[in-house]
Structure 1
Amino acid sequence: MSDEKDGHDAHEASYANERSPVNELAVNYIPAHTNAEHPPDGGYGWICLAACFNINCFTWGVVASYGVFLGYYLENDIYPSATDIDFAFIGGLNFSMAMLVSPIVTVITRRYGIHVPMLIGITFQTAGFIAASFATLIWHLYLTQGILVGFGVGFTYIPSIAILSQWFSQRRSLANGISAAGSGIGGLMFSLAVRAATSNISLAWALRITGLVSGFMNIMATIAIRSRNHIVQPSQHPFDRALLRRYDVILVLAWAFISLDDSQAATVTALLNLGTALGRPLIGVVSDHFGRIETTGIITLLCAISVFAIWIPATSYSVTIVFAVINGAILGVFWATIGPICTEIVGLKELPSMPSLSWLVTVLPTTFSEVIALKLRRPNTQHEFLCTQIFAGMAYLVASLFSWETSDCKAINLAKSEDATQIKDFLGLVMRSLLASMEFQAQARLFFWASYSKNLEASISRSTKGLMIATVVPGGLEAFQKLGETEKRHWRGMAINTIRDECASSGQVAIVAGHFMFWSEEKEDVLPVYTQHDLDTFTHIIYLDIPAQLVAQRRQEDVERSRPCISDTHLLKWQQAEKTQLRDLCRHHSILFSLVSAHQLLLHKVSTLLQDFRHHTEGHNLSEAERRLDEILAASQGQPETVLVMDADRTLAAEDTGALFWKRASQSVGDENCPLKTLFSSPLGHSHTAFRQATLLYEERADDEEFDGLCGQVASDVAMHPEFLYLLREVAKHDHVIAVVITCGLSRVWDKVLEREGLSQRVKVIGGGRIADSFVVTDAVKAALVARLRHEHQLYVWAFGDSPLDLGMLSKADQAIVVVGEEHTRSKTMDAALLSAVDNGGLRARQALLPSNAPPRLDVNKLPLVQITEREFIDSVLHQIRHAGIKVYHATDRNAAKLLMTPMRNDKFAGPALKEAHHDAGRYLAVEFLSDVIGVEKYQIPHVQGHPTSGYQLFHESQTLIVALMRGGEPMASGVNKVFPLAALVHANNPNDMTRHLQDRSTVVLVDSVVNTGKTVVHFVQYIRSVHPTIHIVVVTGVAQAQSISILNETLPSETRLSLVALRLSENKFTGSGTTDTGNRLFNTTHLP
């Protein structure tokens, strides 16, 4: 046993020596945009590459053949009034119009995906060529072959520009180079084909064939192409002005503005197009290996050199041919690298905005470059095109300077921020060291221990426990090897404590590599090498799951060291034991555990996880969820007034999509256990850490493509309640009401369910499931988002939920509906939690039974029943509250009012008699008006015949506050309270008197005997709004002077939930005092002034 331990300790020593160079590398910064999921560098990306090649071929390739049409137009006097400049402008419009529509295309892409704008573009381009075939005047050609074809190219090409950057990373420039080569191949084909068609058939048929062929081929490409927007989640801003404040972005735009000038004038021959086709993939390969920005600067400079060194001195046709091939191969640097450069400068998430800016700055040069070239021509001189050539060469030269400055700017930025490349280099070294040690030493099952101090956000340090043990133990590892297990355990704990303390003092985040246990095949007992200090310190563990067969194979192939033979079976058993024990320990110590398999692009996966671990806190999580909510509101149509917030699983449908996911996933691995059930029944419960762990389980189980497929299968198993489908379809018809699904489960599943039901455009989902989502939804997040809707956005919120996790958001909402399913599917813990929330937490809710024959929860008196498909309920949801300002209801001309107002106006009535008259008026106004203004709800009452029946009470009567404005409002308020006995009644001389009574109220009824100027009402309303922005306020009075209503509307112009109920309106502006003051008459104090 001692020899075996010495062997383990010797491994720790060798591992420490092996890793020591890595530990000298410090990593302090990870750019935010690297949080996006790493592109797969292949797979379906190759199909997308072929589609993009095809699009370039039949958009820019077609445009590149315009030179043939230009030659035909100049040689044949088809349009007598046209000049050379006209035809040059038409060629420029092909390019500039394509660039000009980029913001519009980006907006359409954001709303409808990439295929809709591409199909629009195909229609424009095809129609443009066909319409041009019927042109008889030069302005016809401007509109068709110039503007319409240009629009078509832009709508077809621009949505595809970001696709390859989403699918490729290491080969990004190569992919874009191959794609860009399509324009050269297309230019070559169409240059020859158009010349043959115009010579042998006619110009008209040449245009028609070009339109039809390009249209058909672009449709094929559109069908094949696929974006990864659901993973990358780009911002899709059509014109992000924030980018214009970045110096590196300005440099790229300047390069784009200048470097594109002469490529238009150059693509006039088939040989130049051939050079383009050959050169662009090569540019991609070179830029991937030597840097995209650096390669761009060099090749742009070579373009300038080729102009001055070859083109200008060229005096023979053969030299011109050489120039065409050479320059054709390199002039396409803009198209081959603009996509990767934009990605490198601003990242995948901001990618749609950056090309939009690039396209816009090219509008002027693409429109006028050919015209400038013609104007610079000096006919009838020895060097007719010398000025044109110098112009082209200088444009390339200046563009190359901007490119180089961009490179320098990027280098400075990286030096300042200690770029993410450092962490990737570090991780590469770490991974190689880990894998080497893991695969050649079977006992050393290694894993990452990512240790965080809760206050630490600054930088990252690395260490191994072996190296740290050598540092803290007197005598180093040699002395450590001679100790007993108890002493070793002590020093292992000291090692991790030292790492923890160093991080606390330096403000760094530590990444520590170490062992979990050793297990010899000859012995049954395992040797754990973790300590309680480890479990108290670590917050994240990443376990590198290398196949046992691969470990055994590499052990056998190790020629530098003799290793005992360990079977694949034992290695696998060892791995399973470690994974099982680690999962259980992590659940019991609030440590996030992530298992990364070798097939998951190990380095990229670990890098993504570490970057997420470093930045993610509960505060960050909430801010990301709030950002998503704000984006949904900003993108909504119209001005929303009401929001329906709905839980998803077992609310919108009876199914639990998490359980369905793992059931589907288990079919492929043969594991019937649901890890979510184990997770949420552990000490983690339903905490933020638990939901983060659930996300890591989904990441562990499936890559992005497989995850999306599984979500699609789960969505097909989900059947939404027909009642909710009906309600949501009614809501979708109105712009002032929006619906948002906030789920603790899988947002991707519900996106697909809503898409299937045709609701995805109007009902948005907030949820998680993947690291790329950047947040998880917990009960606290749900409650916070509802509170944000009410207080920050001042919207009226209806909340629907079914479980204890929904009680927070139900309590925060203006209207709460508890969804009650069948007994065998609904939450078993909800009744107790719901009862506590109603009795102790102030929750006032109703319940909807789905299906309608499901037994209700609690007592229907505590939780009244509601049918969400009833017209009355739907009308209350759809009620538009932001029109017509303050709503006024009065009974001035009614006979009942005339009878009631008589004793109130009679000078002989005072004291108790007058109080009774005001009391009666309050009762009348409550029954006649308040029951409609506020609404009523059913509740169960005993019938006189001995069976239960339905009665009615004021809607949320127990959540209603009646405020008697002292002292004149007290008698009338008592009459209102007589009709609504469950409502609370308070007396208030000033708004502060009702502060503590406003909590958990849905309606406030302000009662005064007379409203003269309305100043008192304004004072109370403004105070209530400062405490409760969305609560319904109703003012009840005996007499309201007409002028007071105007004052209320002028003083409270944005008030949308204020109503006034009066027994009568008066045009009399008289304000009583002394013997005529209503308050004095009510209380027999007319002697007072």
Structure 2
Amino acid sequence: METERDAYDGQPLYAEREDVPPDGGYGWVVAACVFLINVHTWGVNSSWGVFLAHFLSQSQFENATHLQYALIGGLSISQALLVSSVVSTSNDKLGTRASLAIGTLLISVSMLASSYATSVWQLFLSQGACFGYGMGFLYITGSAVLPQWFSKRRSLAVAISSSGAGFGGLAYNLGVGSGIEQLGWRWTYIVLAISTLLANTVCVMLIRDRNKVVQPQRRFFDRRLFAHVSTWLIITWGVVTDLGYITLLYSLPNYSLSIGLTARQGSVVGAMLSLGIALGRPPMGYWADRHGRINVAIFTTAACGVLCFALWIPAKSYAVLIIFALTSGTVTGTFWASVVPVTAEIVGMQKLSLAFSMVCLSLVLPTTFAEGIALGLVSSSGYLSAQVFVGCMYVLGALSIWGLRSWKVRETDDDELREREGRSSLAVGTPRAYTKFWLTQRGLFLRQKV
């Protein structure tokens, strides 16, 4: 029997009048700030592929292995996700701006410390762990704040802000490649420390949240969320596509060297992947708001897998590799461009921060070892095995989000049935009674905005 309150978490069981975000106004300033945060976190992090190619070709640190270098890049992302619960606590206890300030300081310190590294273990601590913690405080905080300002344009706003990762990657891949040639890698790190400090400080000063109105849940973990089929489908989507995404992000410059291109050409290839991310995400967000956020996520995730098989495998020349990097970049980061709006559709705004932090925790292991797995495949059987691996991961990711679509259609049908019977609709994110019949032909193939 249904009760007045949901025993799951104390939230209203029935749908109540929800807060209506301004869908613009100062929200666009917040979107611009999150855009800059992505430029100076994900964008800077993507330039690790250029550093990686340089360190591998020059044998920069004595006795350092390819696997160790690969783990540094994976560590920077995994640590950003690992601290998600700490970030949630910081946002609750210290506030949004204080959390962003902590992240800004950690990012700049990590870049400065990397410039003084004399052995690979020091890069593990600076470029890997410290940078990852800083990125977590900045990215996770910004990702939780931005959706509070939008409803109908939520996917567009998130996509525009997440395109900062692409623009940043473009600028920093080219800048780091040029900086290493002209200044050396140590001074290049110092320049990165200064630029990240200045840009992220501006964001700290301008960003605002709507926590008083939205009243997000303050818990940083709830194991009962893992009882939801929808949660596991989102996690599966993230795990498998991140294995492919990080491999592409870090391996393309080194793959360029393996087919006889120069280090400079390799950095341009990495930059073209970032340009594709920058150009592809805003249209993706627009179409997601118009045709359904889950629908567009299915299509773009599958498209990246197809491009890996159709273009990356036969890419043996500079021109073809440029085309692959640019086209695949438009869809390669679908998960990170879509996960916040999609998760909001599934759990609602009040549970979004909690659910997102838990999804981030589940991605720690795959993001840590993705590039290590790829380099292991390359060393044992060449790049073909890594290329097939990446393509298969994106296809599997598309299947998991396709299953999520069926679950969401089943939820919508259930709400429509309750309305016809004169009963109140359940609030978004309320546990449903059905568990066996959510995967249906109607859910998979029905032409519907989802």
| TM-score of the superposed pair, with normalisation by structure 2 | 0.85
Counterpart of 1:336 in structure 2 is 337
> Shift in Å at residue 316 of structure 1?
2.4
Counterpart of 2:328 in structure 1 is 327
Paired with 2:189 and 2:379, the residues of 1 have a C-alpha distance of 32
CA deviation profile, 1:947-1002 (whole Å, cap 9, x unmatched) = xxxxxxxxxxxxxxxxxxxxxxxxxxxxxxxxxxxxxxxxxxxxxxxxxxxxxxxx
* Correspondences of 1:784-803 after superposition (within 5 Å): none
Counterpart of 1:79 in structure 2 is 61
2:394 to 390, 393, 396: 396
Paired with 1:367 and 1:33, the residues of 2 have a C-alpha distance of 40
**Measured at CA, do residues 32 and 119 of structure 1 come closer, stay the same or move farther in structure 2, by a change above 3 Å?**
farther
Task: Provide the secondary structure at the position in 2 that maps to 1:392.
Answer: helix
> Shift in Å at residue 409 of structure 1?
0.4
CA deviation profile, 1:596-625 (whole Å, cap 9, x unmatched) = xxxxxxxxxxxxxx999xxxxxxxxxxxxx
Counterpart of 1:199 in structure 2 is 181
Paired with 1:153 and 1:507, the residues of 2 have a C-alpha distance of 48
Counterpart of 1:265 in structure 2 is 247
Are the aligned partners of 1:35 and 1:611 in contact in 2 as well (CA < 8 Å)?
no
Counterpart of 2:223 in structure 1 is 241
Counterpart of 2:195 in structure 1 is 213
The alignment status of 1:351 with 2:352, answered yes or no, reads yes
CA deviation profile, 1:599-658 (whole Å, cap 9, x unmatched) = xxxxxxxxxxx999xxxxxxxxxxxxxxxxxxxxxxxxxxxxxxxxxxxxxxxxxxxxxx
Task: Provide the secondary structure at the position in 2 that maps to 1:41.
Answer: coil
Higher RCO, 1 vs 2 (CA within 8 Å, ≥6 residues apart): 2
1:412 to 390, 396, 410: 410
* Correspondences of 1:960-979 after superposition (within 5 Å): none
> Shift in Å at residue 202 of structure 1?
2.1
> Shift in Å at residue 507 of structure 1?
6.4
Are the aligned partners of 2:304 and 2:332 in contact in 1 as well (CA < 8 Å)?
yes
Paired with 1:33 and 1:100, the residues of 2 have a C-alpha distance of 33
Name stretches of at least 5 consecutive residues in structure 1 with no aligned partner. Answer: 1-29, 420-457, 461-505, 510-609, 613-1089
Paired with 1:332 and 1:219, the residues of 2 have a C-alpha distance of 26
Amino acid at match of 1:350: K
The alignment status of 1:48 with 2:42, answered yes or no, reads no
Amino acid at match of 1:316: S
> Shift in Å at residue 54 of structure 1?
0.4
> Shift in Å at residue 199 of structure 1?
1.1
**Measured at CA, do residues 252 and 611 of structure 1 come closer, stay the same or move farther in structure 2, by a change above 3 Å?**
closer
* Correspondences of 1:641-790 after superposition (within 5 Å): none
> Shift in Å at residue 76 of structure 1?
2.1
Paired with 1:207 and 1:33, the residues of 2 have a C-alpha distance of 51
Task: Provide the secondary structure at the position in 2 that maps to 1:162.
Answer: helix
Counterpart of 1:155 in structure 2 is 137
Paired with 1:31 and 1:391, the residues of 2 have a C-alpha distance of 43
Amino acid at match of 1:418: E
Counterpart of 1:312 in structure 2 is 313
> Shift in Å at residue 31 of structure 1?
7.3
Counterpart of 1:59 in structure 2 is 41
CA deviation profile, 1:1036-1067 (whole Å, cap 9, x unmatched) = xxxxxxxxxxxxxxxxxxxxxxxxxxxxxxxx
Amino acid at match of 2:313: I
Counterpart of 2:165 in structure 1 is 183
Are the aligned partners of 2:38 and 2:165 in contact in 1 as well (CA < 8 Å)?
yes
* Correspondences of 1:821-970 after superposition (within 5 Å): none
> Shift in Å at residue 508 of structure 1?
6.8
> Shift in Å at residue 164 of structure 1?
2.0
CA deviation profile, 1:871-895 (whole Å, cap 9, x unmatched) = xxxxxxxxxxxxxxxxxxxxxxxxx
Paired with 1:228 and 1:316, the residues of 2 have a C-alpha distance of 50
Counterpart of 1:252 in structure 2 is 234
**Measured at CA, do residues 207 and 507 of structure 1 come closer, stay the same or move farther in structure 2, by a change above 3 Å?**
closer
Paired with 1:417 and 1:288, the residues of 2 have a C-alpha distance of 21
Counterpart of 1:277 in structure 2 is 278
Equivalenced residue count is 397
> Shift in Å at residue 114 of structure 1?
1.1
> Shift in Å at residue 241 of structure 1?
1.7
Counterpart of 1:134 in structure 2 is 116
Structure with greater helix share of residues: 2
Paired with 2:38 and 2:55, the residues of 1 have a C-alpha distance of 25
Counterpart of 2:292 in structure 1 is 291
> Shift in Å at residue 236 of structure 1?
2.8
Paired with 1:320 and 1:198, the residues of 2 have a C-alpha distance of 23
* Correspondences of 1:474-493 after superposition (within 5 Å): none
> Identity of counterpart residues, as a percentage?
38
Counterpart of 1:526 in structure 2 is none
Task: Provide the secondary structure at the position in 2 that maps to 1:136.
Answer: coil
Paired with 2:194 and 2:87, the residues of 1 have a C-alpha distance of 23
Amino acid at match of 1:183: A
Are the aligned partners of 1:184 and 1:276 in contact in 2 as well (CA < 8 Å)?
yes
Task: Provide the secondary structure at the position in 2 that maps to 1:260.
Answer: helix
Are the aligned partners of 1:272 and 1:328 in contact in 2 as well (CA < 8 Å)?
yes
Paired with 1:80 and 1:33, the residues of 2 have a C-alpha distance of 61
CA deviation profile, 1:893-947 (whole Å, cap 9, x unmatched) = xxxxxxxxxxxxxxxxxxxxxxxxxxxxxxxxxxxxxxxxxxxxxxxxxxxxxxx
Amino acid at match of 1:216: L
> Shift in Å at residue 78 of structure 1?
2.4
CA deviation profile, 1:376-422 (whole Å, cap 9, x unmatched) = 0157x7xx311001110111111111000000001001111228xxx
Which entry has the higher C-alpha Rg, 1 or 2? Answer: 1
Paired with 1:66 and 1:394, the residues of 2 have a C-alpha distance of 25
> Shift in Å at residue 359 of structure 1?
0.9
Paired with 2:341 and 2:354, the residues of 1 have a C-alpha distance of 14
Paired with 1:299 and 1:100, the residues of 2 have a C-alpha distance of 27
| TM-score of the superposed pair, with normalisation by structure 1 | 0.36
Task: Provide the secondary structure at the position in 1 that maps to 2:350.
Answer: coil
* Correspondences of 1:1020-1039 after superposition (within 5 Å): none
CA RMSD of aligned residues (A): 2.0
* Correspondences of 1:523-538 after superposition (within 5 Å): none
Paired with 1:34 and 1:41, the residues of 2 have a C-alpha distance of 20
Are the aligned partners of 1:118 and 1:222 in contact in 2 as well (CA < 8 Å)?
yes
**Measured at CA, do residues 293 and 198 of structure 1 come closer, stay the same or move farther in structure 2, by a change above 3 Å?**
same
Counterpart of 1:835 in structure 2 is none
Are the aligned partners of 1:185 and 1:273 in contact in 2 as well (CA < 8 Å)?
yes
> Shift in Å at residue 335 of structure 1?
1.4
> Shift in Å at residue 100 of structure 1?
0.5
Are the aligned partners of 1:33 and 1:348 in contact in 2 as well (CA < 8 Å)?
no
Paired with 1:127 and 1:146, the residues of 2 have a C-alpha distance of 12
Paired with 1:292 and 1:31, the residues of 2 have a C-alpha distance of 25
CA deviation profile, 1:35-62 (whole Å, cap 9, x unmatched) = 4301111010010010010000000000
Are the aligned partners of 2:15 and 2:426 in contact in 1 as well (CA < 8 Å)?
no
> Shift in Å at residue 242 of structure 1?
2.2
Paired with 1:260 and 1:313, the residues of 2 have a C-alpha distance of 23
Amino acid at match of 2:201: I
Paired with 1:507 and 1:332, the residues of 2 have a C-alpha distance of 42
Task: Provide the secondary structure at the position in 2 that maps to 1:227.
Answer: coil
Counterpart of 2:368 in structure 1 is 367
Task: Provide the secondary structure at the position in 2 that maps to 1:135.
Answer: coil
> Shift in Å at residue 334 of structure 1?
1.1
The alignment status of 1:88 with 2:70, answered yes or no, reads yes
**Measured at CA, do residues 611 and 145 of structure 1 come closer, stay the same or move farther in structure 2, by a change above 3 Å?**
closer
**Measured at CA, do residues 167 and 34 of structure 1 come closer, stay the same or move farther in structure 2, by a change above 3 Å?**
farther
Paired with 1:84 and 1:508, the residues of 2 have a C-alpha distance of 61
Name stretches of at least 5 consecutive residues in structure 2 with no aligned partner. Answer: 1-11, 251-269, 428-450
Paired with 1:152 and 1:32, the residues of 2 have a C-alpha distance of 39
Are the aligned partners of 1:36 and 1:348 in contact in 2 as well (CA < 8 Å)?
no
Are the aligned partners of 1:303 and 1:393 in contact in 2 as well (CA < 8 Å)?
yes
Paired with 1:189 and 1:304, the residues of 2 have a C-alpha distance of 26
Amino acid at match of 1:336: A
CA deviation profile, 1:673-723 (whole Å, cap 9, x unmatched) = xxxxxxxxxxxxxxxxxxxxxxxxxxxxxxxxxxxxxxxxxxxxxxxxxxx
CA deviation profile, 1:332-389 (whole Å, cap 9, x unmatched) = 211111110111110010011111112111111111111111000157x7xx311001
Amino acid at match of 1:412: R
Are the aligned partners of 1:253 and 1:357 in contact in 2 as well (CA < 8 Å)?
no
Paired with 1:245 and 1:34, the residues of 2 have a C-alpha distance of 24
Paired with 1:270 and 1:355, the residues of 2 have a C-alpha distance of 29
